[in-house]
Amino acid sequence: MTDALELDALWEDFHRVVNMTSQELAAWLRVSEADEQTEPLPEHAGSPTGQHVLAILQKRRTDLTEDDLEVMYEVVDTVTEQADVENEPEAEETRRRHMLMTIGHDPLKP
């Protein structure tokens, strides 16, 4: 398991980059998966990573598993890498925003 200092840093980094609340993320996952005819059950909406991020947001730090830590590192790395992208065409920017929102980061949110 990760040592206490590293866990504290990861917890802070994760909650810094995941700027959507669990309610916002759950709603986005449902909306992003819905089409004109159907909407998935809330527990099945979104990607496995998005669902895992949602589960992590609902946990206490002491309840984290090794799988949670892996997802947290992955999300921090993904958001950090994507933050460096600038001057995209609007369609690409929208696509990138929606991809980031599926893991709990809305680039347009202050």
CB burial of residue 74 (10 Å; 0-12, 13-18, 19+): middle
Nearest to 13 by CA among 61, 58, 52: 61
Compute the average pLDDT of residues 85-104.
Answer: 81
pLDDT of residue 67 exceeding 80, the answer is yes
The residue-averaged pLDDT of 60-77 equals 96
Q: Is this prediction's pTM over 0.75?
A: yes
Residue 41: both structure tokens together:
């059950």
Per-residue pLDDT tens digits for 33-51: 655 555 555 555 568 899 9
pLDDT band at 86 (very low <50, low <70, confident <90, very high): low
* Averaged pLDDT for residues 89-107: 87
46, 55, 97, 100 from 85: Cα distances, Å: 24, 28, 11, 12
pLDDT exceeds cutoff 90 at 75: yes
- Using the 8-state DSSP alphabet, how is residue 46 labeled? S
Q: pLDDT at position 93, please?
A: 83
Compute the chain's Rg from CA coordinates.
Answer: 15
